[in-house]
Amino acid sequence: MTAPEIRVVVVDDHPVFRIGLSALVDELPGMRVVGQASSQEEAVEVTLGLAPDVVVMDLDLGPGSGADATRDLLAARPGTGVLVLTMFGDDDALFAAVRAGARGYLLKGAEPAELERALRAVADGAVMLGPQVAARAVSYLTGAQGVRTGPFAELTDRERDVLELLARGHDNATIARRLVVTSKTVRNYVYAISTKLGVPDRSALIVKARDAGIGVQP
């Protein structure tokens, strides 16, 4: 019997990359791109409307977040496989995506064969990490980052930097300039921190940080 076709939605806010990636996936045997999206809201809408097997998700979606889109669409369609394909290979971006429910994570420099393997694995319900990303995950899980103590020890060093600046009252754009990252990356950090600390929103996060003495001016 012929294996069922894998139906894919591609989400990326850069049209040239999105169109090129869609063409590549369409050329893979047994796969078909059934839809595209360029924003967080479109990603959820298209996924709910087309019910694909796999969503290929960028993390930076203009004013939106791929991690948030992943969380929202999986809340409505938990059986959908999400494969993150992004330029960001740092620990914080990886674990924000995994906590949101993504089953795969590749960097945009991945070879077509690696992308095909990841798509098939995620469609089958498996977890698939690219080699560079897997090495970071192993390093993290084996404690290579070192043991942290004090308030919010579960946060990474970069997450603590973001939390410190956030608690001092800085907006995302200012934090991004200070840390030399994009505002969209800062949003991913804030989401990851909120998830780890179990707070519902930015205001509650600031209050919790200040209560612990973080961001309080001497």
Q: What does the pLDDT read at residue 2?
A: 64
Residue labelled with tokens 């077509």: 112
- Using DSSP's 3-state secondary structure scheme, residue 167 falls into helix
Task: Using alpha carbons, list the distances in angstroms from residue 59 to 28, 42, 94, 106, 153.
Answer: 23, 14, 10, 11, 25
**Residue 8 gets which letter from DSSP?**
E
Radius of gyration of the CA atoms of the chain, in A:
18
Which CATH number does the domain 157-209 belong to among 1.10.10.10, 3.10.300.10, 1.20.1730.10, 3.30.420.10?
1.10.10.10
What is the CA angle 23-21-190, rounded to 5? Answer: 155
**Reported pTM:** 0.68
- The pLDDT, as a whole number, for residue 42 is 95
The C-alpha atoms of residue 36 and residue 10 are separated, in whole angstroms, by: 5
Give pLDDT tens digits along the chain (218 positions). 567 899 999 999 999 999 999 999 999 999 999 999 999 999 999 999 999 999 999 988 877 788 889 999 999 999 999 999 988 766 667 777 888 899 999 988 889 999 999 999 999 999 888 766 666 555 555 554 444 556 788 888 788 889 999 999 999 989 888 876 778 888 888 888 998 888 988 899 999 999 988 887 65
Q: Give the residue extent of every domain in the chain.
A: 6-139, 157-209
- Going by C-alpha positions, the residue among 73, 119, 67 that lies closest to residue 98 is 67
- What pLDDT score does 218 carry? 52
CATH number for the 6-139 domain, one of 1.10.10.10, 3.40.50.2300, 1.10.150.120, 3.50.30.30? 3.40.50.2300
Bridge partners for 150 per DSSP: none
Structure tokens at 156: 């990474």
- Pair of tokens at residue 104: 């795969």
DSSP 70-90: HHHHHHH-TT-EEEEEES--S
Question: What is the rounded CA–CA span in Å between residue 80 and residue 78?
Answer: 6
As given in the structure block, the two tokens for residue 161 are 């930097």
User: Do 197 and 152 form a contact (C-beta atoms < 8 A)?
Assistant: yes
As a whole number of angstroms, the distance between CA 97 and CA 87 comes to 13
CA distances from 91 to 126, 131, 186 (A): 20, 14, 13
Instruction: Report the residue count for the chain.
Output: 218
